[in-house]
Structure 1
């Protein structure tokens, strides 16, 4: 399976802080925002990632990640010349997807919770169809909303309804089979002039090939598209890290845990951040794993 991060757009809802820097490079506490969606793809076992962004911002992501080899993965880049909806990702990434299954995550979405790793792995092990995730919110009118029948089966998905029939929003994480490119090509732009991800999901729903998983209590989904949401996400990450002593979306730690890099590679990366809390966290991990290996 391959992975795509959509990190385009102008971030106008966050003006003026996004006038000089793209939204996905804004800090969420101690890391760039894009670390969090990349961490999700890596935890799902994905090692081939495409970052879709603008002409102005792509060089910034290339400077940050290069080709991904420091993390034991492969990162490539594609341009979104004009933002025309989330489903446009599959048109831009057609050659990258190359008839394989693909996971798409939005560059401003953060996921965290107990057994998240297991959920991501289970969701990745499919052959055909699509999987999307629902999360209960208090303001469903901002999202694509799931509608259920009396048996709690999903019967419809409505984009930004004025009067929603449920509080379950579709999150910014999606899994699709190789059909997704050909389906995306059949979509027509909406009244907003965009290729809507909701229309694509409804296509799978009509074919009875859409699986919907609802995040239970204990999971956190943070959409950092507003000033308040961005601040709340930073406070959430800060609280978890300071109370539990573990880092959220520490890419080097995930790369090591997933077997993408070895201990020597982890130690080299830790040295790059030696004078920071991030570097000291990685150094502690190196020391801990070194002791563990010495006992084997």
Structure 2
């Protein structure tokens, strides 16, 4: 049994949560037989992208939460994570009761650690992103969220700023938004998140709302907001059009630059979590361009 001091020790390594539940009804009939987060975004399963974000943040212990029907597919795809030098556990969310429920489900897994929660259908790409992630992960108290300017803020949770750029308000899908900045599906919380989530009151929709969890930190003046601007891409793949846009975006970047987006094998290798021989072995297991890319990473380093 963990003692109380251990449960509140900010020095414990931060752990990650991927929330990959939901019925994916906006993508029917595509998602009638498969979880949305298991369908491909160009050359890899959708869930690889949020997984890679947590790995870029230096997080090695990850819990994936999904529905009872879909959890087996994630187990088959990801295993226990050892191939990437990480640990992946699994938990079920029987009903979609809101994003903060992830912290109630994950409480035993977190065991007093700070956390990072990412939604399984979000894709992030931009220069300097790794540094922002590491900075957020190293904060020992409070919460960090990421805001992105959108043309249709009515569809999102929106964060309001004062003239100095300080966050002063939150709204969930407002009819008349006070800001164009949507809160993305990536959140870093300190060790209080589980307790705060347990004490939230369900909204009129009957769900626990992520804006209420974030609002707790805002009201206690312990919320940090990172703004993404020009040159950064945040893609939500919840509709057919946005899924197609994401596929085309990833394809265009990868073909143009010859570099992959959301590649857990490469991130694990560059983080020194797996050796070059293991990366080569992973590449040899794939008879395609993805596998050759992994093998060529090792070859390029050896030539240098």
Query: For the superposition of Structure 1 and Structure 2, which TM-score range results when normalised by the shorter chain?
Result: over 0.9
Residue 149 of structure 1: how far off its partner (Å): 2.0
Any stretches of 5+ residues in structure 2 without a counterpart?
1-13
Q: 1: CA distance between counterparts of 2:237 and 2:100?
A: 20
Which residue of 1 is the match for residue 42 of structure 2? 29
Residue 152 of structure 1: how far off its partner (Å): 2.4
- Please tell me whether residue 57 in structure 1 is matched to residue 73 in structure 2: no
Which residue of 2 is the match for residue 107 of structure 1? 120
Any stretches of 5+ residues in structure 1 without a counterpart?
none
- Please tell me whether residue 88 in structure 1 is matched to residue 101 in structure 2: yes
Alignment of 1:127-166 (within 5 A): 127-166=140-179
- Computed over aligned residues only, the root mean square deviation of the Cα atoms, in angstroms, reads 0.8
Residue 113 of structure 1: how far off its partner (Å): 0.4
- Please tell me whether residue 122 in structure 1 is matched to residue 132 in structure 2: no
- Please tell me whether residue 288 in structure 1 is matched to residue 270 in structure 2: no
TM-score normalised by structure 1 residue count: 0.97
Alignment of 1:182-221 (within 5 A): 182-221=195-234
Q: 1: CA distance between counterparts of 2:207 and 2:185?
A: 16
Which residue of 1 is the match for residue 55 of structure 2? 42
Residue 154 of structure 1: how far off its partner (Å): 1.1
Which residue of 1 is the match for residue 11 of structure 2? none
Q: Quick check: 1:263–1:289 contact (8 Å CA) kept in 2?
A: no
Q: 1: CA distance between counterparts of 2:164 and 2:121?
A: 33
Which residue of 2 is the match for residue 171 of structure 1? 184
Structure 1 consecutive aligned stretches of length 4 or more whose deviation exceeds 4 Å: none
Q: How many residues align?
A: 291
Residue 270 of structure 1: how far off its partner (Å): 0.8
TM-score normalised by structure 2 residue count: 0.94
Which residue of 1 is the match for residue 4 of structure 2? none
Q: 1: CA distance between counterparts of 2:163 and 2:288?
A: 53
- Please tell me whether residue 269 in structure 1 is matched to residue 296 in structure 2: no
Other structure's SS at 1:135 match: strand
Per-residue Cα deviation, 1:219-243 (whole angstroms, up to 9, x for no partner): 1100101111000000000000000
- Please tell me whether residue 19 in structure 1 is matched to residue 32 in structure 2: yes
Residue 217 of structure 1: how far off its partner (Å): 1.2
